[in-house]
Copies of this chain bind each other. A is one copy, B any other.
C-alpha cells in the first residue's frame, strides 16, 4: 500500500454521513466521514466504534449524556451502547471498526449506507 494523507482524502468527497474506507488493519476498517446535523439513534451489538475528530465538532449523544468531541479528541462507543452522532457543519472525523459493522446498526433508514456500498478512496 501507499501512505495515506488523511486531509487529502477528506478533499476527495463531499457526501455527508457516508463513510469512505482508507485502510484495513487486523480485520478492522479505518474510515473517514463528514457530517452536519444528526444521523440516527442506533446500536452496534457486537462492535466497539472508535471515533477521532479532525475538524469541527462531533457530539455522540448517548442515553446517559452527550460526549462532545472537538478536533484532536477521540472516544470509543462500546458495543451495545445506543448512540446518535450529531455534528456541527462540515465536521470531519475518522472511525475504526470491524468490517462487519453496519453503518446505523440495527436501524435501517434512508440515511443508511450499507457496508457493501461504503467505498474505498
Contact = CB atoms under 8 A, between A and B. Distances in A.
A76 B24 contact: yes
The bracket for how many chain A residues form the interface is 20 to 34
B26 A47 contact: yes
Interface string A17-57: 00000111110101000000000000000011110100000
Contact of A5 (B22, B49, B73): B73
Contacts of A5: 72-73
A61 B68 CA distance: 38
Interface of A: 1, 3-7, 22-26, 28, 30, 47-50, 52, 67-69, 72-76, 96-98
Please give me the 9 A-B residue pairs with the lowest Cβ-Cβ distance, nearest first. A25-B48, A25-B50, A25-B76, A3-B75, A4-B74, A26-B48, A23-B76, A6-B72, A5-B73
